[in-house]
Structure 1
């Protein structure tokens, strides 16, 4: 038996406890490149312990809804930004920390042009593109030491687009 989580559209306010929603919104902070480019400056709070920021490319297999969530992870030594390299939305699953373990997860769906930055220590699901190709640029900590903790749920969750959606 699984428990159900219904997805909701992501917004900066709803995602704020977990990290930064990275998107073009509002008026550009600066106009650059001879007036041909709006710069939306410093849209994510990157934070790293020892080590440095690095950019990696991920090519993840697409998943579908309903989605079985049996594990979340977190990175205590650094934030982690996922920037899609396609126009496709992706699934974002996060949970607040409750005395060292994840609390009730929630799930968001992005829209085209949105990326996320998970703050240090935030429990989150694995990279979950919903369409192929699942190409992402990832900015995260490169350095020595362990920067990954996993938590496996005793009873998995089922992430759905609509309440009471049947397992597929």
Structure 2
């Protein structure tokens, strides 16, 4: 089995696949009688010409590291945002497209307060919370046309957590 190291999620590292949704250093504007900072328009949502935005709740069973990736999927008709409804980290798996099939996957671990938006047609793993409850608000395309393509790897991948460097001699 091929191994993938899960690295911390960052906007720069995730940019080819989508948007990291998190607070900015300062809000775009202050609203609600000065009691709320609005961090505006944080994701490039795309629902295609025949779709509309929908909000769903997903309640996923938590997984654990090491985690086996044997399948990825993509949505050719629209983007898909996953917004955790808890402060727990979750695993995000993505892959670049190689002419219709995915390249080797990459894995990211979110920090508390981070959410993600997969751009349209981005290969990604299934929703992978690492703690209970695995409750997420999902904003994605609702429409009548097919919006799911799956790819099963001949050889699965195993995602492991990045090891901290040891201090001192072995």
Q: TM-score, normalised by structure 1?
A: 0.95
The residue that corresponds to 1:95 in the other structure is 95
Aligned to 2:75: 75
**How many matched pairs?**
162
Give how far 1:162 is off: 3.6
Structure 1 position 106, deviation (Å): 0.4
RMSD: 0.7
1:63 aligns with 2:74: no
In the TM superposition, structure 1's runs of 4+ consecutive aligned residues that sit over 4 Å from their partners are none
Per-residue CA distance 1:93-141 (angstroms, 9 max, x = gap): 0001010000121000001100000000000000000000000000000
Name the counterpart of 1:156.
Answer: 156
Structure 2 alignment gaps of length 5 or more: 164-170
Distance 1:17 1:39 in 2: 26
TM-score, length-scaled by structure 2: 0.94
Alignment of 1:11-160 (within 5 A): 11-49=10-48, 50-160=50-160
State the distance in 2 between where 1:27 and 1:98 align.
Answer: 38
Query: What residue is the counterpart of 1:166 in the other structure?
Result: none
Q: Give CA deviations for 1:13-35 in whole Å, capped at 9, x if unaligned.
A: 00000000000021100000011
Gaps of 5+ in 1: 164-168
